[in-house]
Amino acid sequence: MKCLPSAKLPQAQGNVLHDWHAEVLAIRAFNRFVLEECRQLALGGPDMSSPFLRRRTAEEMRVSSAPSAGDDDGGTGNGWWHAQPFAWRDDVALHMYCSEAPCGDASMELTMAAQADASPWDIPLPRSSSPPFPIPSSPTSSTETELEPEQTLPGRAYFSLLGAVRRKPARGDAPPTLSKSCSDKLALRQCVSLLSGQASLLVSPENAYVRCLVLPEAAYSAGACRRAFSATTLDEKENGDGDGEGENGVGVREAKATAGEGRMRPLYARKWGGGYAFRPFEVRTTGLEFAFSRREVARRSERTAASNLAVAWTAAPTPLPIPISPLPTSQTSRGPAPAPTLLTPMPPASTSHSHPRAEPKSTLTSDPASTNYLSTKNPPTSPIRALRGLEEATLGGTLQGRKQFDARGASFATRRRMWGLAAEVADLLVVANNTGVAGRAEAGGGVAGMVGEGTEAVAGVVEIQRTLVGTRTYGELKECGLLAARRRVKDEVRAEALKGWVRNLGDEGFGL
């Protein structure tokens, strides 16, 4: 079992991963890397560049945040917010490799083929009049039973239900959860991008979509992937639209009968505000096998067992051009801030963010020198980390060797750690606006120079900082006005394409 039972969510307090399936953990590690890149750019100043992120111009932020005709902006009157200071570079494509077919709808045919008896199961009828998942049109059996409300998301069972939103774990004897399958989560990512809520406050989602999903040939079902992820059945350019009388039309009709229509079809060519759109990825295959895949391990050994460990890794962030001093806060009762100076020694590797205690703890306070934003009593004091990636092993959603729910065992990809890092980046950007970029004391080298000229760009960063630092709970952060466009996308996807999606609530009451 590699997800947290629903009954334990309130105990997590943002310190435990909810789902540590490989695909989910890879996406969370990607978001951690993105936030680390944002931090390096915030520290490095306007001359700092990244191979992965770029700074957005003030013009981009003004145009993208303007209201669209007939677009409901959730009552803000200013259009859907899209004023992030950074963006994923246009010339960098994102590809994702999975050594196994994602659990859920994209692997149902493979699951059926692995059964000793692949005949369809009797499908229980939900008690509600509107079933939350697609019900096949075949006649019902007299042996059907009613589903309890918490059972309406099937795991691996009832594999004749194709196109359904499924929950984890697949095993029926495991504690119940509301974590959705990797197929469902990847399908949603085609609409909301790879960025988490915290990362999407700092980085525009516009280019942060997976372009290609790569699967091993032995773990690929064309019909299943088409049904789970696409808005069509076959490539219309090669096979026609299915309406003609020729061979192409017949081929498309046969494909529809065999694989079913892509469940994302209601969202075909859909575009939302805030940089969001339905951007389906291409699914490709490779003949290369991961050295530790099930098939490779089974080939080398007669007896195998699945590991209960999960390992996450990130690449090293882009190095800073020069070592820089800690950023001072704006002037307070402690007197004028000291001028930035260069540091001679590089900090030891222990300053890496791989341990929770290495992260600065922020305490909210009013800044008497400024009424524009909230500051922190203890700002970042060790801005330079060892230039290495993060690597960790987790067991039960907690660092291996730590007790579950112990804050010291929090993974670098947990909700609390990611929120804390995003808030730190926002603090760095706002502090730079008041004191000048670290290492540059000259006037005018603040946020305007770092994220684009103009008061709108500066105001946008201040609003991000207010949201990330001033929000009391994680639940309030998810419901903030700056994420209204993201929530709208998720609501429409769940209502139109991924029907039956039940939110996995219970770990939203903690704060920084």
Q: What is the pTM of this model?
A: 0.76
pLDDT in tens, the chain (512 residues): 789 999 999 999 999 999 999 999 999 999 999 999 999 999 988 888 999 999 998 888 876 655 444 455 544 444 689 999 999 999 999 999 999 999 999 998 888 887 776 565 555 555 544 444 444 333 333 333 333 434 456 666 677 788 999 988 756 677 888 999 999 999 999 999 999 999 999 999 999 999 999 999 999 999 999 999 999 855 544 444 433 333 344 343 334 434 457 999 999 999 999 999 999 999 999 999 998 888 888 888 888 888 889 999 899 888 887 655 555 444 433 444 443 333 323 333 333 343 333 343 333 333 323 333 333 434 433 334 446 789 999 999 999 999 999 999 999 999 999 999 999 999 999 887 664 334 333 333 444 445 555 566 677 888 999 999 999 999 999 999 999 999 999 999 999 999 989 999 999 999 99
CA 336-337-338 angle, to 5 degrees, is: 115
Cβ pair 231, 265 in contact under 8 A: yes
CA 185-190-194 angle, to 5 degrees, is: 75
Helix (H, G, I), strand (E, B) or coil at 288: coil
Please tell me whether the peptide bond between 169 and the residue prior to it is cis, using omega within 30 degrees of 0.
yes
CA distance 329 to 427: 9
Q: Which of 386, 397, 321 is nearest to 352 (CA)?
A: 386
What are the boundaries of each domain within the chain?
6-78+314-496, 97-104+183-311
Cβ pair 292, 311 in contact under 8 A: no
Cβ pair 177, 6 in contact under 8 A: yes
Helix (H, G, I), strand (E, B) or coil at 244: coil
Q: Hey, what amino acid is at 43?
A: L
Q: Is the dihedral of CA 395, 401, 406, 412 positive or negative?
A: negative
Cβ pair 21, 311 in contact under 8 A: no
Q: Which residue has the tokens 């008690």?
A: 127
Q: Which of 277, 98, 310, 306 is nearest to 189 (CA)?
A: 277
DSSP state letter for 211: E
Q: Hey, what amino acid is at 271?
A: K
Helical spans, DSSP H, in 131-264: 182-192, 222-229, 236-239, 247-259
Cβ pair 241, 232 in contact under 8 A: no
CA distance 136 to 103: 21
Q: How many CA atoms lie within 13 A of 298 on its CB side?
A: 5
